[in-house]
Amino acid sequence: MAKTERYQHIRSMLGARRSVSLQELMSHFEVSRATIFRDIAFLRNRLGMPVDFDRELGAYRLSAPTGSAELPGVWLSADEIHALLSMQQLLENIDASGILRDQLQPLRQRLIGMLGAGSHTAEEIARRIRIIAATPRQCHAASFQTVADALLARRRLEIRYRARASAATTTREVSPQRLVHYRDNWYLDAWCHTRQALRSFAVDAIEKARTLATPAQDIADSELDRQLAAGYGIFAGSEVRWARLRFSAMRARWVAGEQWHPQQQGQLLPDGRYELRLPYSADPELLMDILKYGPDCEVLEPETLRQRVIGLLEETRGMYRGVADGETGGG
């Protein structure tokens, strides 16, 4: 009998009876005293099973505390169940696209059944924990599942990908490296065999995915970080530049406590304003974050980024010039 099977049988025997003697366990499984000692130690120390040796009975028995319950392979107290339910609720709310809902639901139902009449019900936890997603895009559960399976199985993928910038649809063969949840959306970092380069794909833009039999090509984590995580946000590039931004004294109260990038450098100025330096490669996402602060954020350097912001502001102003002159919009 395999060890895992023996563990299950010991658990069943202890759960069904008041106590089980060491000799009975040795005889039942035809193993030595040392083996039973190791099994009991594993159940107690690794799986958290509340098993004790009762000297008066001369046998092993369960001494489960009030409020404890069991999942396959682990014993949980009521507080631990509450914590798991809270984490499950957090995950469910973070996963605004719903692609993990089916995987999480069985665990949630099992936890609710185990919790019973606890001090905090699952409904109360769901009511009290709320995460509001900003701009999640709908992700196809089937595509996500295929991508995740190939990623963990280390198999290549054939994907039909629709690029939003060009609206072009291409078929790519890629080696998946890692899934990234960023700003309420999922991205796949992968080696693109079609382009012979590392790329980051929005999972919601993958129209169809098929797992191939070919093993995936592995890229070192250090190389992934160097090319895909060195700059700002999800947009990657080979050349890393540094931006220097200055925020108004009013906006500094918020920005000074924010982390825009792990390598950022910031300082409060004597007049209350705040300067922030951070690396970036491609600039689309950084531009969006700069522009959302309007007149409270000024780009000091590099000049190319400053001119990009000025150009976008001029284009925006041009859109509203007619409205300012008394004209109305329309087709």
DSSP 81-92: HHHHHHHHHHHH
The encoded tokens of residue 104 equal 């999480």
Q: Which of 93, 88, 94 is nearest to 108 (CA)?
A: 88
Residue 275 CA to residue 249 CA, distance in Å, equals 10
Q: What's CA 190's distance to the chain center, in Å?
A: 17
Q: Which helix (H) or strand (E) holds 125?
A: helix 122-128
pLDDT digit string (tens) for 49-97?
Answer: 788 888 888 899 887 654 565 655 556 666 666 676 666 666 666 666 6
pLDDT, tens only, 145-195: 899 999 999 999 999 999 877 889 999 999 999 998 887 788 899 999 999
Q: What average pLDDT does this structure show over 303-323?
A: 91
What does the alpha-carbon distance between residue 131 and residue 146 come to, in Å, rounded to a whole number? 27
Structure tokens, 258: 């924010």
- What pLDDT, on a 0 to 100 scale, did the predictor assign at position 165? 74
The whole-number pLDDT of residue 277 equals 96
Q: Examine the pLDDT at 48 and tell me if it is beyond 80.
A: no
- Give the confidence band of 314 by pLDDT, cuts at 50, 70, 90: very high
**pTM passes above 0.75:** no
